Amino acid sequence: MKCSLLSRPMTCAHGWISSAVLPGDTVVDATAGNGHDTVFLARLAGPAGHVHAFDVQEEAIRSTRERMEEAGLLTPNVHLHLSSHDRLAELVSGPVKAIVFNLGYLPGGDKKTVTRTDSTLAALEQATALIAPNGLLSVMCYPGHEGGAAEAEAVEAFLSRLPHHSWRTGKYQLLNTGSPAPFQVCAFRLD
């Protein structure tokens, strides 16, 4: 879907990511879930690109594998890690053109298995070291569930502290889509 006037945050994020990723790039879905973002990233990176997806739940990795297979995108360049994203630096070689986090719980799955502030921040720290020049780090935050507000606040604070000469960071939120409304934070690496 195209990012137009006041589109939903994920739609805008997808538009920005589409502008950054070129065929052959390395991309990371840090929270694979049902695999929608993995498929989206894999299409942009193309068959010559490298795709990594992380999730701590077997169900999510299975669902992502099935979705990738159905889309004809499951190649030897696709790496599905049943692992926390705080092992990003260990399992992925940079530079990476886009790293996408969609925080919270697996839709339709176990709502108790949620992303957590400490591992999210550790993964973000590693992500900033892996991102290529002209690459994008995108985080969808959900302050509505238990622990979500503290995590969202910590993520926003982390991206706000990135040095402005190397990064352009921003936040996008629709104000009438829930209370508290989910929001997107992005960091674009300038050099």
Dist. CA 102–CA 184, nearest whole Å: 9
Closest to ligand SAM by CB, 74 vs 166, is: 74
- x/- track of binding to ligand SAM for residues 83-112 (CB under 6 A): -xx----------------x-xxx------
Q: Which of 14, 28, 33, 135 binds ligand SAM (CB under 6 A)?
A: 33
The reply to whether 139 sits near ligand SAM by the rule CB under 6 A is: no
In the sheet that 26-29 helps form, which strands lie side by side, from edge to edge?
78-82, 50-55, 26-29, 96-102, 131-141, 183-189, 167-173
User: Which of the residues 155 through 184 are near ligand SAM (CB under 6 A)?
Assistant: none
Tell me how far, at minimum, the Cβ of 22 lies from ligand SAM, in Å. Answer: 21
Based on DSSP, count helices (H) and strands (E) in the chain, helices before strands: 6, 7
The reply to whether 41 sits near ligand SAM by the rule CB under 6 A is: no
For the chain, the distance separating the N- and C-terminal CA atoms, rounded to the nearest angstrom, is 29
Q: Which of 8, 15, 36, 144 binds ligand SAM (CB under 6 A)?
A: 36
Dist. CA 159–CA 150, nearest whole Å: 14
Q: How far is CA 128 from CA 7, 70, 162, in A?
A: 26, 32, 9
Tell me how far, at minimum, the Cβ of 23 lies from ligand SAM, in Å. Answer: 21
The reply to whether 57 sits near ligand SAM by the rule CB under 6 A is: yes
User: Interface with ligand SAM by CB under 6 A: which residues?
Assistant: 31-37, 54-57, 60, 84-85, 102, 104-106, 113-115, 119
